[in-house]
Amino acid sequence: MKRAQVVGVVVLAALTAPAHADTIAIVGATVYQTPTKKLDNANVIIVDGKITAVGVGAAIPSGATQIDGTGKIVTAGLIESSTSLGLVTVDLEASANDGDLSDTDGDDEGIHAAYRVLDAFDGDALTIPIARGGGITSAVVAPTGGLVSGQSACFDLGDGHTADDALRGVTAMHALLGVIDEAGGSRGRAIERLRELLDDAAQYGKTKGAYDKNQSRELSAGRLDLAALAPVLAGTVPLVVRADSETDLRAALRLAKARKLRLVIESGTEAWKLADALAKAKVPVILDPSANLPGDLAAPDVLDDAAAVLAKAGVTVAISTLGSGSSPGVSNARVLRQLAGIAVANGLPWADAFAAITTVPAKIFGIPDRGTVTKGAVADLVVWTGDPLELSSRADVVIIGGVQQSKDTHQTKLLKKYR
């Protein structure tokens, strides 16, 4: 009996293990090595999950699986900069919603710095294959809610991959400014509490021994949350602040300057009004170009061409669906390329828009081996039927880590089952 049980476990492990990377050759395609460098009629060679050659006439290894790229476009896989993929499947179902730490009963202090997405990510979430179908191969998965939501992680979205396969276990710390319940409904109180929290985290780092012996003053958070903020204060982990109004954005810039933080702005409805200041401070902005209506009266000045205005001023711009537990961004992550297309329609150069969903998030979040189709890069690639920013195009082949991904989703499996 025991032997049978062991065999069963081995078989299950074999069935669920990620597929092995094959030797693959994409032949005769238009290849965007970077958003600004294009090769026509080129071959892309993939061996052991890495790109080993790109070029016109690049030699095809014996026995390689060949993919006909004639009339098609090959790019790096898209990178989603802020999503709840793997955390949230159904917003209104508690068992399928993790990572949304919003206060629901009024007794939450709103500080969750020690929370790690790494501990909650589900690589088998039903929404992940759908995102892959939109050409997304990597994602920064972030918690939401509270003054400080916690620590995001970066994952590739390969079939069978789990949290143990994270590209970066801690990618950024996430915070929220504005009129939020955890700050008594006051934007001034929100920045005050965040400033106090960072001050206390610095104090904890200097007097940890005294704190552990109960010989220090009362601090604004528990030891785990305070300790989790140490990399933010050291500048080794960026602080991503979701804020929209000019007032909150200016407050975030002042705080980052005073504390020498690696600040990243997320959402940033009125960030265009501070474009020069953001460029000077080298603060990237992650935005949704389709969010062209004000979310509240605190940030009413919305521009359709905000991405173009920011980029022209020299701000590093990333594009995201900005999915959270209370928005359609999770199930709609697949429209990331469409959002980049909207930015192009509103004045952002094509190369900048494509960089905003590939090379820019790779640089912001420290995954430099993704986002390009160059020798030595990880083979996260998409073969498109046409311009990836055109709505009529589709992802014909998606390769993650050198493994061609299945096109099956939960929906297509149901269709096949009940047809």
Domain locations along the chain = 10-75+379-418, 78-364
- Tell me: the pLDDT tens digits for 209-233? 887 878 788 888 999 999 999 999 9
User: What pLDDT, in 10s, does the model give residues 380-409?
Assistant: 999 999 999 999 999 999 999 999 999 998
pLDDT score recorded for residue 323 = 63
Q: Return the CATH number of the domain spanning residue range 10-75+379-418.
A: 2.30.40.10
Calpha distance 4→308 (Å, rounded): 62
At 393 the pLDDT is: 97
Q: What is the pLDDT of residue 299?
A: 86
Domain spanning 78-364: which superfamily?
A: Metal-dependent hydrolases (3.20.20.140)
Beta-strand relationship, 317-319 and 285-287:
parallel
Residue 104 is predicted with a pLDDT of: 59
Band (5; pLDDT cuts 50, 70, 90): very low
User: Based on the number of CB atoms within 10 Å of its own CB, is 388 exposed (0-12), middle (13-18) or buried (19 or more)?
Assistant: buried
At 281 the pLDDT is 98
The answer, yes or no, to whether residue 202 has pLDDT greater than 60, is yes
pLDDT score of 56: 97
356-383 per-residue burial string, b: 16 or more CB within 10 A, e: under 16: bbbbbbbbbbebeebbbbeeebbbbbbb
Q: Summarize the confidence of residues 295-319 as an average pLDDT.
A: 93
Tell me the average pLDDT of the chain.
Answer: 90
d(CA 50, CA 377): 6
Higher pLDDT, 333 or 284: 284
pLDDT above 70 covers a percentage of the chain that reads 91
Residue 273, both tokens: 């009004």
pTM value is 0.91
102 has pLDDT over 80: no
Residue 237's pLDDT is 97
- Which band of pLDDT confidence, cut at 50, 70 and 90, is reported for residue 107? low
What is the structure's pLDDT at 22?
86
Q: Shortest CA distance to 337 belongs to which of 9, 93, 106, 78?
A: 78
Most confident of 82-91, 287-296, 337-346: 337-346
- pLDDT at residue 95, rounded to an integer: 75
Count of CB atoms situated within 10 Å of the CB of 247: 17
For residue 364, is it left (φ>0), alpha (ψ between -120 and 50) or beta?
alpha
Does residue 164 carry a pLDDT above 60? yes
| pLDDT above 90: residue 239 | yes
Average pLDDT of the segment spanning 108-137: 93
Mean pLDDT of 302-306: 94
